[in-house]
Every structure is written in C-alpha cells, then in structure tokens.
C-alpha cells in the first residue's frame, strides 16, 4: 500500500510540475526556435513519447544553454524512461540555474523522487528536506519524505537483522569448528592411548618371550649339568671296576 501511494504521488507530481514549468515562464517562448522545440516536446510528452520529447527539449537547450525549464522538462522525460540517475542530474542543473524558490523546490522534489526510485533513500530524504525548506506547504514532499524515512528505517532494521544473522551463523560455524577440533583431539587422544596399549602389550609379550627364553636356557643348562654329572659318575665307576 505504501509503495502504491508513492508511485501515485511521484507520477502526478512530476507531470504537474512539468506543466507549471512551461506555463510559468513566458520569457522562454519569446524565441521562435525555443518555442518550437518546447511545443513539439510537449506534444510528444503528452503522447507518452518520452524519448522523442527528450530530444526536442534538448534541441531547445541547444538554442539557449541557460534554459533552466527545458532542463527540468528533460528531467521529466528521463524520469518517465526510468533513467532516474540521469533525470536527477537534470534537476540538479535546474536548481543551479534557477533563482525562483518555487522552481528550486519543485526541482528538488523531483530530484528526491529520482533518488528514491534509484534506491538512494538517504539522498532522497535530503532532497525532500531541501525542497520543504523552500516550500514548506508542499504536501507531496512531506508525504514522500515520511515514506523515505520509514523506508530507510526498514532498510536499516533489515541490515541489522542480516548482520545479526551473519553473526549467529558465524558463531555456529565457530562452534562447529570447535566441536570438530575437540572431536579430532579426542580421536587423536584415543589413537595415542591405543598406540600406548599396543606398545605395552608388545612390551609384555617381549617380556614373556624373554622369560621363556631364559627359562629354556636355564633348563638347558640344568640338563647339561645333569648329563655332566652322570657322565662323571659313569666314568668313576668304570675306573673302580678297572682297578679291581
């Protein structure tokens, strides 16, 4: 609903100011060439031939470089073509060339509309404020100013929500990374424990093998000693029998 109202105000106000600019400047039509191109541009504009009307108004500017109202009309034609930034530049030039407060206010209002449609909300707010300083009774400017301010607050809130969401996502990502690191650390710890257990088992096995080997050697030595004793005893008996 807000956007619909904004479009209505912008469209109606642009067209109204367009005709005011033409009717309030009788000195403009004194020159035959300028009058010809202005009238041609008006017909084309009213027939919604905005690109053709832009060219006609530019021809009027060629006849008179300081023709401020023609620049205003060029801005209107560009706005209708949705060339909002180009339109804004024409309205700025109109403001710089004009001394009339009403015309400056009108151009600033249209500048605000152009900036708003170009998504330059903060800049449009300043243009509307400057327009109202010159013409405090411009109700359309007051409405669009309020709309732009609400829109800016909404954008700022969305930006804050987006930043908050990004921060939450980052925190979750950090937490996930910490969990992965902790999990990796636990896995490494378990692996180390397993390696230690394997080493201990290997050491235990080696110790048992060594004990068995030592026992085997000891048994072998015992057997050898027993055999030696038996051999000595047998030898001694043979000698005794031989002496007899």
pLDDT tens sequence across 2-39: 222 334 344 434 534 444 344 344 444 445 678 899 99
Tokens for 113, please give them: 């509309």
CA–CA dist 141, 125 (Å, integer) = 10
Alpha-helical segments (H) within 24-66: 32-46, 50-63
User: Is 124 within 8 Å of 112 (Cβ atoms)?
Assistant: yes
pLDDT in tens, 145-203: 999 999 999 999 999 998 888 888 888 888 888 777 777 677 778 888 888 887 777 66
Measured CA distances, 243 to 211, 230, 232, 236, 239 (Å): 48, 20, 17, 11, 6
- Burial (CB count <10 Å: 0-12, 13-18, 19+), residue 18: buried
User: Is 74 within 8 Å of 109 (Cβ atoms)?
Assistant: no
Q: Is the predicted pLDDT of residue 42 greater than 70, yes or no? A: yes
pLDDT at 173: 83
pLDDT in tens, 220-242: 666 666 666 666 655 555 443 34
pLDDT in tens, 90-129: 999 999 999 899 999 999 999 999 999 999 999 999 999 9
User: Taking the model in full, what pTM does it have?
Assistant: 0.61
């Amino acid at each position: 609903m807000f956007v619909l109202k904004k479009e209505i105000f912008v469209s109606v106000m642009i067209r109204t100011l367009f005709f005011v600019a033409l009717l309030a400047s009788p000195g403009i039509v004194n020159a035959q060439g300028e009058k010809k191109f202005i009238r041609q541009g008006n017909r084309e504009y009213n027939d919604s031939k905005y690109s053709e009307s832009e060219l006609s108004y530019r021809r009027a500017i060629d006849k008179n470089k300081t023709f401020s109202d023609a620049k205003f009309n060029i801005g209107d034609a560009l706005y209708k073509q949705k060339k909002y930034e180009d339109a804004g530049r024409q309205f700025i030039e109109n403001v710089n060339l004009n001394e009339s407060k009403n015309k400056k206010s009108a151009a600033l209002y249209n500048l605000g509309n152009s900036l708003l449609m170009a998504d330059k909300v903060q800049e449009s707010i300043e243009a509307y404020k400057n327009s109202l300083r010159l013409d405090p009774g411009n109700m359309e400017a007051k409405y669009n100013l309020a709309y732009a301010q609400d829109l800016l607050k909404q954008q700022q809130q969305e930006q804050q929500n987006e930043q908050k969401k990004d921060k939450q996502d980052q925190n979750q990502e950090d937490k996930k990374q910490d969990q992965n690191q902790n999990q990796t650390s636990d896995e490494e710890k378990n692996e180390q424990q397993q390696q230690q257990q394997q080493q201990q088992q290997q050491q235990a096995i080696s110790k048992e093998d060594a004990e068995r080997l030592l026992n085997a050697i000891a048994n072998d030595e015992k057997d050898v000693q027993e055999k030696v004793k038996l051999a000595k005893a047998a030898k001694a008996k043979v000698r005794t029998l031989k002496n007899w």
